[in-house]
A and B are shown apart, each in its own frame.
Chain A
Amino acid sequence: MSLVFFGYFGGMVAITSMLVVALRNPVYSALSLLVMLFHVAGLFVILHAEFLAAVQVIVYAGAILVLYLFVVMLLNVKEDDRYHSQWRIAAVVCVPLVIESIVLLSGGAGSTGHDSRSLESGPHGGIAADNTLAIGKTLFTTYLFPFEVASLVLLVAMIGAIVLAKRDFSESREL
């Protein structure tokens, strides 16, 4: 059963990621990226990484993709041909990737088994436990202090961006 789901999600990821680069309209590209990110989240669910799946949807599909769409729409690019003549670079990048996947598929069979074993016998009672709960507990007990410092970092980044980007600051504030 899980193989069927894997085939569906994996196949959709492959198809939509090709569509991202193949489609000429940047908005369509961004939307196929969105579909791809959802299917990657589906792959995470198959692997019992529910937390990662939720983060994938919220952060990538929710926040980052909306940012992409904003940029695309603000710049008002309709059909841009600048990026469609880069097949030489793509070919050069492809060669090591193909070699890598061949190595992984041929010699990596033993290591894959090792990986899944180490996942199931994890220190926190294996993957069967609710990993969202486990992460939340760790963040709010053991790592409470750095977690709160991280929230301050975000606060500074947010206010800083507003202060630096706000227009006509000096005029409106002068005595």
Chain B
Amino acid sequence: MTFPVGDLFLILPELLVITAACIVLVLDPVLRPSDKDGLVWLSLGTLAICMGLTASQMRAPVEAFNGLVIIDMYGAFWKLLLYFVTGLTILLSHSYLKEERLYFGEYYGFVLLALAGMMVMVSAADLLTIYLGSELMSLALYVMAGLKRSEPRSLEASAKYFVLGAFSSGILLYGISLLYGATGSTRLPAIATAIAGQSLDDPLLLFATILLAVGFGFKLAVVPFHMWTPDVYEGAPTSVTAFMAVASKAASFGAFLRVFIEGLGGLKANWSAIFLLICLATLVLGNVVALVQTNIKRMLAYSSIAHAGYALIGVVAAGRLENSSGLASVLLYLALYTFMTFGAFAVAAMLRKDGMEGDEIEDFTGLSKRHPVAALLMLIFMVSLAGIPPTAGFIGKFYVFMSAVEAGMPWLAVIALIFAAVSAYYYLRVVMVMYMREPSDATDRAPQLVMSPAFSIVLACTAAGVVIFGIYPNPVVQLAMQAVSTLR
């Protein structure tokens, strides 16, 4: 057997990202601190090249490395989204790390390595490869969560994330091994053939499905596997939190959908029932607990849990529908969720109080007076997160709810709508604090937004996404439709 040279071209984006990460890690110790901005530009340039390469790969599915990797529209959709989020993360981190006085060149290396893990996750057609990709992503994220070492909360977040992440990886691996026992393969197409026509009567298959659902549940942070999320999101450096809340969730959803549609598609009716329960619990708990949060990062953490619940509505619908509109709504939802959540975290990251992070909701008091533009953008993000038209958040929720109705579950859409109304309370409270509350002390001790060119680009990109796709969502809808069409 010869070495698969042709396959290397198929995974060229992955190779480029890994090479860039290694160059960053090697150059970091030898560069003078003033030259380290070069690492940022190197990372961004790599992402731009990868974006072009992946866009050129958006065609019929091609298998590589003996069918362990599959390059298709579906993977390309997630990869493009991940490049975008990683680019935003690097830009935001450039400003944020300076404020936090964290001069880690390794930081950008870890961002790129986490990205490489995510790319492996979304384009792998084999359970073991997916598992290794998720480990690569998670290990990089554990380290990044603990980078703010002067802060005990950051170290606590890192340790907590590590312990629970390792635990969930174990459960996922256990599920994979049981599935291997039941079907004799770890490759998704082979698994699909092995379980065709079977139901969950086989206890081995039942346990495997449940364990896989639990393992992925931890990665997606859905109730009841969400316990780590608020503490980790609060303690980690905010730029890392934004990366985790958006990129890691998107990659996990990408791998999760591929496993459950391509591999376990024959058990659709069965896993749809499991996810219906998880989805309802997530919607209720995520939205209700977010009501009482006073810390903006914790509030956004619960909000991200609730949003995973909305995306799961699409998954539940996909399990009951013959066509792929349910799946497309999940992809669309997560793509649009990216813009608003990242924007909100970016504003939270750059709000500084006495050189510290101003991460209480109270710190937003009177922001509209001091920074009218930034306050307006935060208003847009909050309105979009609440799902009020004409923003991207509304479009995402609209398509997800439509797929639920199409799947014959209008009651699920109604419940989700009620909890969307509940969520408006805590999102709009931030707006109320920014616009209607007078600052108690008008001194210069009030929290200030630290503006920088990179931060402005992040805000402009995310806000433009929220507004443009809120009014004209067609390009993303088409892309999501095309992406799921390659999913078997």
Contact = CB atoms under 8 A, between A and B. Distances in A.
Interface stretch (B141-149, B287-295, B391-399): B141-149
B426 interface: no
Interface stretch (A15-23, A42-50, A51-59, A167-175): A167-175
Specify the main secondary structure of chain B where it touches its partner.
helix
Interface stretch (A32-40, A110-118, A136-144): A136-144
Given A150-B132, A152-B136, A153-B136, A159 B103 contact: no
B33 A146 contact: no
B142 A160 contact: yes
B128 A146 contact: yes
A164 interface: yes
B106 A144 contact: no
A84 B322 CA distance: 63
B102 A153 contact: no
B140 A175 contact: no
A149 interface: yes
Interface centre among A141, A142, A159 (most CB of B within 10 A): A159
Given A143-B68, A170-B149, A174-B103, A149 B143 contact: no
A66 B113 CA distance: 30
A144 B4 CA distance: 10
Nearest to B15: A148
B25 to A, nearest CB: 7
A164 B103 contact: no
Contacts of B217: none
Contacts of A145: 11, 64-65, 68-69, 129
Interface string B345-360: 0000000000000000
A160 B1 contact: no
Contacts of A146: 68, 126, 128-129, 132
A152 B101 contact: no
B69 A156 contact: no
A54 B102 CA distance: 44
Interface in B371-394: none
Interface residues of A, number: 22
A60 to B, nearest CB: 20
B143 A173 contact: no
Contacts of B103: 173-175
Contacts of B167: none
A3 interface: no
Contacts of B25: 159
Interface string A76-87: 000000000000
B142 to A, nearest CB: 7
A160 B107 CA distance: 10
A153 B11 CA distance: 17
B332 interface: no
A166 to B, nearest CB: 9
Nearest to B146: A164
Q: B interface, how many residues as a size bin?
A: 35 or more
Contacts of A142: 66
B104 interface: yes
Contacts of B11: 145
A175 to B, nearest CB: 5
A163 interface: yes
A156 B129 contact: no
B116 interface: yes
A163 B143 contact: yes
A72 interface: no
Contact of B101 (A141, A143, A160, A170): A170
B120 interface: yes
Contact of B102 (A149, A159, A170): A170
B158 A164 contact: yes
Contacts of A153: 132, 135-136, 139
B110 interface: yes
A146 B113 CA distance: 15
B18 interface: yes
B145 to A, nearest CB: 10
Contacts of A174: 101, 103
A21 B68 CA distance: 45
A160 B143 contact: yes
B135 A163 contact: no
B443 interface: no
A155 B132 CA distance: 13
A157 interface: yes
Contacts of B68: 143, 145-146
A175 B4 CA distance: 47
A173 B126 contact: no
B129 A141 contact: no
Contacts of A155: 113
A169 B68 CA distance: 40
B135 A160 contact: no
B139 A149 contact: no
Contacts of A170: 101-102, 149-150
Nearest to B66: A142
Interface string B242-271: 000000000000000000000000000000
A149 B150 CA distance: 32
B129 A149 contact: yes
Given A145-B68, A160-B140, A163-B106, A173 B132 contact: no
27 contacts: A143-B68, A144-B65, A145-B69, A146-B68, A146-B126, A146-B128, A146-B129, A149-B120, A149-B136, A150-B132, A152-B136, A153-B135, A153-B136, A156-B136, A156-B140, A159-B25, A159-B143, A160-B139, A160-B140, A160-B142, A163-B143, A164-B143, A170-B149, A173-B103, A173-B104, A175-B33, A175-B34
Q: 7 nearest interchain CB pairs?
A: A160-B143, A145-B65, A149-B132, A173-B103, A146-B129, A156-B139, A153-B136
Given A143-B68, A149-B117, A157-B139, 10 more contacts: A146-B126, A153-B136, A156-B110, A156-B139, A156-B140, A159-B110, A160-B142, A164-B143, A164-B149, A170-B149
